Amino acid sequence: MTIQRGFTLIEMAIVLVIVTILIGGLAMPLSAQIQARRIAETRQTLQEAREALLGYAMTHHVTAGTNHYLPCPDTTGDGHEDRVGTGCAGQSGLLPWVDLGIAPQDAWGNRLHYAVITQFADSGSGFSASSTLVPPDPIVICSTHTCDKLNPDVAGKVVFVLVSHGPNGWGANNINGTTLAAPTGLDEVENLNGNLIYISRSPTKPDAASGEFDDLTSWVALDYLIPRVCPTGSDCSP
């Protein structure tokens, strides 16, 4: 007579433990891959937004003049720049994605932050190849919130900057119009307070001495803006 033997409860428990370990081992790398892909997608979105801003400046002239100007930030969340007369309603806000015709959010579903030196976004005066930065002070990029604004360690004389608030999204406006919880890391706070100092550095976790940071940034300095928008021989170059 043939005796059929099944799995015992102990054997089944051992199999389940092994399967759980294997799934857990696969899930962590998969999660890391998804996050890396989202970061790469957001960097591409920032690059496209940067080029769209330059393209806007190339195609927008002051009235009856040859000077060019950049868009103002979106301060109301509708995707359009907000102007008061020829100037901007605010120096920082959201990227006016509707006016630029680009992606409205980063890979985590949050809007991009945009700040610009209003001198270069004034549709009444604009800028030309001979323009220089005048007060208010230019935007600077630093590696820490404690940096000296007069001696930034990443980039100075920045005309505009773009910020994705990264995987954690702290302080960002999401696509539903909700503002997420404020960041606790002082470097992430710096990217929200509108004081013209922005932080760009490697990410760190909440338990790091420097605090949590996962923002992604992109910017254009004056020395890059002028040759792109006003190259020699163009309408805004003498």
- Report pLDDT for 28: 58
- Residue 142 covered by a domain: yes
Residue 3, in any domain of the structure:
no
Residue 23 class from Cβ within 10 Å (0-12 exposed, 13-18 middle, 19+ buried)? exposed
**Per-residue pLDDT at 5:** 56
Instruction: Note the pLDDT of residue 178.
Output: 92
State the CB neighbour count (10 A cutoff) for residue 149. 14
pLDDT at 23: 64
What DSSP designation does 80 have? S
**pTM of the predicted model over 0.85:** yes
Q: What is the distance, to the nearest Å, from the Cα of residue 36 to the centroid of all Cα atoms in its chain?
A: 16
Residue 78 inside a domain? The answer is yes
Rounded to 10 degrees, the C-alpha dihedral 224/78/176/102 comes to -40
Measure the CA–CA gap between 113 and 105, rounded to whole angstroms: 10
User: Is 67 a domain residue?
Assistant: yes
Residue 238 lies in a domain: no
Matching residue, tokens 């004389």: 157
Number of Cβ atoms within 10 Å of the Cβ of 104: 16
Q: 214 in a domain, yes or no? A: yes
CA distance 130 to 237: 7
Number of domains in the chain: 1
Number of neighbours of residue 117 by Cβ within 10 angstroms: 25
Across the chain, which has 238 residues, the per-10-residue mean pLDDT values are: 59 71 63 90 97 97 91 96 96 96 95 96 95 84 93 94 97 92 94 93 93 97 96 88
Instruction: For 84, list phi and psi in degrees, rounded to 5.
Output: -125, 105
The answer to whether residues 103 and 97 touch, using CB atoms and an 8 Å cutoff, is yes
Regarding beta strands 139-142 and 197-199, do their DSSP bridges make them parallel or antiparallel, or are they unpaired? parallel
pLDDT of residue 8: 72
Alpha helices by DSSP H, 162-210 = 186-190
Enter the tokens of residue 185.
Answer: 């890391």
Looking from the CA of 106 toward its CB, the CA atoms found within 13 Å total: 32
Identify whether 4 is part of a domain: no
- pLDDT for res 3: 54
Domain that holds residue 22: 9-229
Residue that the structure tokens 């901007």 belong to: 88
